[in-house]
Amino acid sequence: MNRFLVLALISTLFASACQSPSKERKVVFILLDGIPADVLESTNTPYLDEIAGQTGYTRVYVGGEKGGVSESPTISAVGYNSLLTGTWANKHNVWGNSIKEPNYDYWSIFRVAKEHDSDLQTAIFSTWLDNRTKLIGEGLPETGNLKMDYAFDGFELDTVRFPHDEERQFIRDIDEMVANKAAAYIASDAPDLSWVYLEYPDDMGHRYGDSPQMTQAVELADAQVGRIWKAIQQREAQHDEDWLIIITTDHGRTASNGKGHGGQSDRERTTWIVTNYPAPLPSFYQNPGIVDIMPSIVNYMGLKMPKEIEVGIDGKAFVGRRE
Ligand SMILES: [Zn+2]
């Protein structure tokens, strides 16, 4: 057999091993708060670069259709809920960080997973408690009393252990702890669907705007993601599992100084996705929205949902449907 044929055969075998239908498929999505695309692109992020490889980076938009019915404030909780539900604010009804009256008729990805198969293990690692209690809506009748299997969050409320300082070093410390726990728990327990949320970059943005402090916060977040990525690689090497990791942010920042957000300027609307998914659909490179992540996870895991939930989703998957 000639050398090229052998190589071709090996790569085919390798590809089919990677895509084996028998392997368990698991997903981690990570939200790094408040990092505009231009900031990410101009910061040294070796781990995000490694995860993205040649194909896994794209610019993304948030904020819905500018001037249209789905226009959504470029505010944190609004963006997180667009990620979770695959819908814009006119549907999920979260318009600000006070999260007054979410419309749980638009299911979060966690509810979709649990209704598909209640044995699927879910986890959240987060520097903000409301993500679980209000957005996911754990334990509420409106979410079918959805229960997360594992939660590591709420430390920002412990002002004895984490005294709140103006420099927001307590948030840096909590992010560090949250990321370390996520890496350790993924390595040991391999939940099927996990959300990791880290806040510190947004805090540095608000305090210092475009600045060395912001750059350092992004570098720190990259290292935190790197530890989670190592845990995933370890799982894949030692178990019959395929992992999808998606990293994104919830909004950009004001063009003038990078301190604020909430409006509809290009810089506030322009975000990004990093993923290890090797062959995204063409739409991935055609200005996808944050709402495209949820249906992509659905497709990757092969989740089924009721028709009335499916038709309400605004996003389009950039991951092909699992057979
Ligand atoms: Zn913010």
Query: Which pLDDT tens digit goes with each residue over 133-159?
Result: 999 999 999 999 999 999 999 999 999
Domain 26-310 has CATH 3.40.50.170: no
Q: What is the mean pLDDT of residues 99-105?
A: 97
**With bands split at pLDDT 50, 70 and 90, how would you rate the model's confidence at 4?**
very low
Cβ pair 22, 240 in contact under 8 A: yes
Mean pLDDT of the chain: 94
For the cut 70, the answer to whether the pLDDT of residue 304 exceeds it is yes
Cβ pair 131, 80 in contact under 8 A: yes
pLDDT attached to residue 19? 53
Query: Which pLDDT tens digit goes with each residue over 28-75?
Result: 999 999 999 999 999 999 999 999 999 999 999 999 999 999 999 999
Ligand 1 centroid to residue 230 C-alpha, Å: 28
pLDDT attached to residue 20? 59
- Specify the residue for token string 């299997």: 149
For the cut 90, the answer to whether the pLDDT of residue 7 exceeds it is no
> Concatenated DSSP letters for 11-35?
HHHHHHHHT-TTSEEEEEEEEETT-
Ligand 1 centroid to residue 271 C-alpha, Å: 14
> How many Cα atoms occupy the beta-carbon half-sphere of 287 within 13 Å?
8
Q: What is the mean pLDDT of residues 219-244?
A: 98
Nearest CA to 244 out of 315, 199, 294 is that of 294
- Which helix H or strand E contains 273, and what residues bound it? strand 270-275
pLDDT attached to residue 22? 76
Cβ pair 152, 125 in contact under 8 A: yes
**Edge to edge, what strands does the sheet with 57-61 contain?**
57-61, 270-275, 241-248, 24-32, 193-198, 122-126, 150-152
pLDDT attached to residue 29? 98
Least confident of 15-29, 36-50, 167-181, 290-304: 15-29
Count helices and strands (H / E) in the chain: 13, 7
Ligand 1 centroid to residue 201 C-alpha, Å: 9
Ligand 1 centroid to residue 138 C-alpha, Å: 24
Ligand 1 centroid to residue 63 C-alpha, Å: 14
Domain ranges of the chain: 26-310
Query: Which pLDDT tens digit goes with each residue over 197-224?
Result: 999 999 999 999 999 999 999 999 999 9
- Please state, in angstroms and rounded to a whole number, the distance separating the CA atoms of residues 243 and 27: 6
Is the Cα torsion angle 234, 9, 24, 104 positive or negative in sign?
Answer: positive
Ligand 1 centroid to residue 214 C-alpha, Å: 13
Ligand 1 centroid to residue 59 C-alpha, Å: 19
68 vs 19, which has greater pLDDT?
Answer: 68
Ligand 1 centroid to residue 33 C-alpha, Å: 7
Burial class (CB in 10 A: 0-12, 13-18, 19+), 101: exposed
Ligand 1 centroid to residue 15 C-alpha, Å: 41
27 phi, psi to nearest 5 deg = -135, 135
- Please state, in angstroms and rounded to a whole number, the distance separating the CA atoms of residues 201 and 121: 29
For the cut 90, the answer to whether the pLDDT of residue 323 exceeds it is no
- Please state, in angstroms and rounded to a whole number, the distance separating the CA atoms of residues 303 and 93: 24
Q: What is the mean pLDDT of residues 286-292?
A: 98
pLDDT attached to residue 15? 46
Is the Cα torsion angle 254, 89, 101, 130 positive or negative in sign?
Answer: negative
* Tokens found for residue 275: 């993923």
pLDDT attached to residue 6? 45
